[in-house]
Structure 1
Amino acid sequence: MTTRDIMAGKIAAFQSIYIPYPPQLAFHERCAFLVELGRATRGRPQKGMRVLAPSGSGKTAAAEAFIRQFEAVYPPTESFVPIIHVPLDRATTTKKLMMSILDAFGDSYSSHGNEKVLKARVKLCFERFGTLLMIIDEVQHLNFHTSATNDATDTLKRLLDDGVVPIIFMGTEDALGMFTRNIQLSSRLIEACDLSPLDWTLSDNRQLLVNYIAALDAAMVRQGIVAEPTKIIEPWAVGCLHAVTGGVIGRISRLFAIALDIALRRDATRIEIYDLSLAVDRWAVPNGIIDHNPFLKERGK
């Protein structure tokens, strides 16, 4: 096995790490509650839940983790699909939404038929497979600025009203207007479970960040990705990480992934501040996540 193969394997192993992060665990609990509420009100109008977060927050990873955990208890079969996860493309119309839902069910003919036919097939799929929850991902792509007769959100609202399935609406803050301007939709939702960025001025938020970094550190050592823990828990260093990522937890993982690549290329046994600083220069700044490198400023003090 070549050095390149080993490095690629370690980066792949890092990307498979999932840290049980408290706000995301709270999201899991609310998902489970929505499922149970749906079971208790079967045949009656269902409820939905809003989950908004900045891009890179790890909301999709959290949803996928919940699905894995749920399916470990309630395994899918040929006749039972407990949860469907429906990612949306930009400018999703009602017809495209129906096609995406059918795709999630594995329908090979999702593009066949007009909008009315597709809606009927979607309802039949939910009934046939006994689906308990639908997660709509990237709801900011729903075409909710069109006329009332061609509003994709109205179609989802109808699924709730008809008692078809509970729905989780996941997306970025760009989707907020979809809920604030559509009172009829909002009235069908339980309390929102938005994943907000960590606030550095709050001590409990700072501790959440420290704990997340420590857990990520431990996971890298446990999986043999690095030989030694990073131990980057000094307040100034954690403060720099918060400044770079804006408190968006998924960006912490992405920054560490870049830093890991840098560390492995210099045959280091762990990620150090040097690697994280270079990761800021090579990834965070060029991608517009931040316009300066906080590590250089703090180190110069």
Structure 2
Amino acid sequence: MNSASIPQNDAPDKPSDLVRRVAQAKASFSRIRGTNPYQDAVVAAFDEVRLAHIDRDPRTPCGGAMLVAPFGTGKTEALVALARHAATGAPEGTMPVLNVVMRAEGTPEAVPSAILAALGAPKPDAGRPSFRWDKAIREMRRRGVQLATFDEFNRAARRVTMSRPIATVIQERIMDAGICPVAFVGSEEANVVLRGCPALLDRLDDGVSLDPFDWISTEDQKTLGDFLKEIDGKIVEARLLDDKSKLELHAEHLVLASGGRMRIIMKVIRNALGEAVARNADAIDLEDLAVGFARLPLLDREARNPFEEKAS
């Protein structure tokens, strides 16, 4: 086990020291990013929508795009990468891509507050909705927003009577007003909202997909294998472990464990890394992955552990 990034000595670890070392390793792992072509395709598609509207007549309405995909496939991670990409070389103080997270209450009145929160405005809930909308639009113009993404748009479906008003107010206040194009992002429930607003659907330029990995697909096998090799290398580069764990050899079982969802794959590896660090190992092994899966907060505690089956 490498001692450069996780301090150790020859004396036995006290429980508090062990907890600290494991926590440090997991925190470092959470900052590691790999290359995912499917997420890159989302970034490219949304960036195309952004760029296509930059030189339009400011008096014309804007279009947009939608990304509806299962939980845990990497939607939010793609939006973060998009914002980072668009900000490269942008004037200081601007925000070319504004990533808005829909509020849990799922009401039209919460939308301007969510926008203001994404802009970093203090007290985003202060004032009447009309005041907050005026402030949000003013700030979006001032910060040079070129694309607004609404993540967790499935939350608009929580209250049936509010779904259409939420979608309509975003269309009228942002798209119809020519402020910027909008990308709606969420799980399958977001489809309920968008299907109920055919006028809004007609205005969208692109529908983007981000499906879970399917082990039947040879393309998915290669993509995930390459991703896991990269993550494995970065774990060693970060000096979290001494040796590569050959995670790509466990790709099929990681798909079985996660349903192909990237978020769960990374959680299993993160938990397994913690186990490897705790036992002072040089690499993650099959037993670490089995424990990593077992530590997931599963609703079905009787779910089979694919890594235990692989060991047998």
- SS state at 2:207 partner: coil
Q: Cα 1:87–1:290, aligned 2, differ >3 Å: closer, same or farther?
A: farther
Match of 1:291 in 2: 303
Aligned amino acid, residue 246 of structure 1: G
1:1-301 correspondence runs (5 A): 2-43=17-58, 44-77=60-93, 80-142=94-156, 145-146=160-161, 151-158=165-172, 159-234=174-249, 237-283=250-296, 286-288=298-300, 291-300=303-312
User: Structure 1 stretches of 5 or more lacking a match?
Assistant: none
With the length of structure 2 as denominator, give the TM-score of the two structures.
0.87
**Superposed displacement of residue 108, structure 1:** 2.0
In structure 2, how many angstroms separate the alpha carbons of the residues matched to 1:66 and 1:76?
Answer: 17
**Superposed displacement of residue 290, structure 1:** 8.0
User: Structure 2 stretches of 5 or more lacking a match?
Assistant: 1-6, 8-16
- SS state at 2:208 partner: coil
Q: Is the 8 A contact 1:145 1:151 kept in 2?
A: no
Q: Is the 8 A contact 1:50 1:193 kept in 2?
A: yes
Aligned amino acid, residue 143 of structure 2: F
In structure 1, how many angstroms separate the alpha carbons of the residues matched to 2:67 and 2:232?
Answer: 28
Aligned length, in residue pairs:
294
In structure 1, how many angstroms separate the alpha carbons of the residues matched to 2:144 and 2:40?
Answer: 25
**Superposed displacement of residue 58, structure 1:** 2.1
Per-residue CA deviations over 1:230-277 (Å, capped at 9, x if unaligned) read: 11333xx32211111111122111110011111111111111111001
**Superposed displacement of residue 4, structure 1:** 4.1
Q: Is the 8 A contact 2:53 2:180 kept in 1?
A: yes
CA RMSD of aligned residues (A): 2.1
Q: Cα 1:37–1:273, aligned 2, differ >3 Å: closer, same or farther?
A: same
Q: Is the 8 A contact 1:255 1:276 kept in 2?
A: yes
* Identity percentage of aligned residues: 23
- SS state at 2:106 partner: coil
- SS state at 1:97 partner: helix
Q: Is the 8 A contact 2:229 2:246 kept in 1?
A: yes
Q: Cα 1:52–1:207, aligned 2, differ >3 Å: closer, same or farther?
A: same
Q: Which stretch of structure 1 is more off in the superposition, 3-12 or 20-29? A: 3-12
In structure 1, how many angstroms separate the alpha carbons of the residues matched to 2:238 and 2:91?
Answer: 27
**Superposed displacement of residue 76, structure 1:** 3.7
Q: Cα 1:104–1:290, aligned 2, differ >3 Å: closer, same or farther?
A: farther
In structure 2, how many angstroms separate the alpha carbons of the residues matched to 1:264 and 1:124?
Answer: 50
Q: Cα 1:165–1:194, aligned 2, differ >3 Å: closer, same or farther?
A: same
Q: Cα 1:290–1:185, aligned 2, differ >3 Å: closer, same or farther?
A: farther
**Superposed displacement of residue 211, structure 1:** 1.3
Per-residue CA deviations over 1:152-207 (Å, capped at 9, x if unaligned) read: 11011111122111111111112111222321111111221121111221111111
In structure 2, how many angstroms separate the alpha carbons of the residues matched to 1:130 and 1:280?
Answer: 44
In structure 2, how many angstroms separate the alpha carbons of the residues matched to 1:211 and 1:228?
Answer: 17
- SS state at 2:184 partner: strand
Aligned amino acid, residue 269 of structure 2: F
Aligned amino acid, residue 240 of structure 1: H
**Superposed displacement of residue 42, structure 1:** 4.2
- SS state at 1:192 partner: strand
- SS state at 2:149 partner: strand
In structure 1, how many angstroms separate the alpha carbons of the residues matched to 2:106 and 2:122?
Answer: 19
With the length of structure 1 as denominator, give the TM-score of the two structures.
0.90
Q: Is the 8 A contact 1:244 1:290 kept in 2?
A: no
Q: Cα 1:66–1:299, aligned 2, differ >3 Å: closer, same or farther?
A: same
Q: Is the 8 A contact 1:76 1:82 kept in 2?
A: no
